[in-house]
């Protein structure tokens, strides 16, 4: 059980890092490079929608990260 939780924690951690890096910041970092073409093709509204999806996914992954971290702490390895 402990190994499964640790594996899930690593997967969620990597996904959380990736989603945070894909979000556009004030300087429009990595997300600006990726969604720049999407803005030209689909307009500005699509880019805002993509940022909203990234924000929701970030919240879900952050909650999963904290729950898994607490579970890994309390579940003893066998």
Whose structure tokens read 């640790």? Answer: 6
| pLDDT (tens digit per residue) in 13-23 | 999 999 999 88
76 backbone φψ class: left, alpha, beta (φ>0; ψ -120 to 50): beta
pLDDT at 35: 55
**Alpha carbon 35 to chain centroid, angstroms:** 16
Reduced to 3 states, what is the DSSP secondary structure of residue 35?
helix
pLDDT at 23: 87
Residue 20 token pair: 């945070």
CA distance 37 to 47: 10
């Amino acid at each position: 059980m402990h190994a499964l939780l640790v594996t899930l924690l690593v997967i969620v951690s990597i996904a959380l890092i990736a989603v945070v890096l894909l979000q556009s910041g004030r300087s429009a970092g990595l997300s600006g490079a990726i969604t720049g073409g999407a803005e030209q093709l689909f307009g500005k509204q699509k880019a805002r929608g993509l940022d909203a999806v990234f924000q929701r996914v970030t919240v879900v992954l952050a909650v999963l990260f904290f729950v898994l971290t607490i579970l890994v702490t309390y579940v003893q390895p066998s």
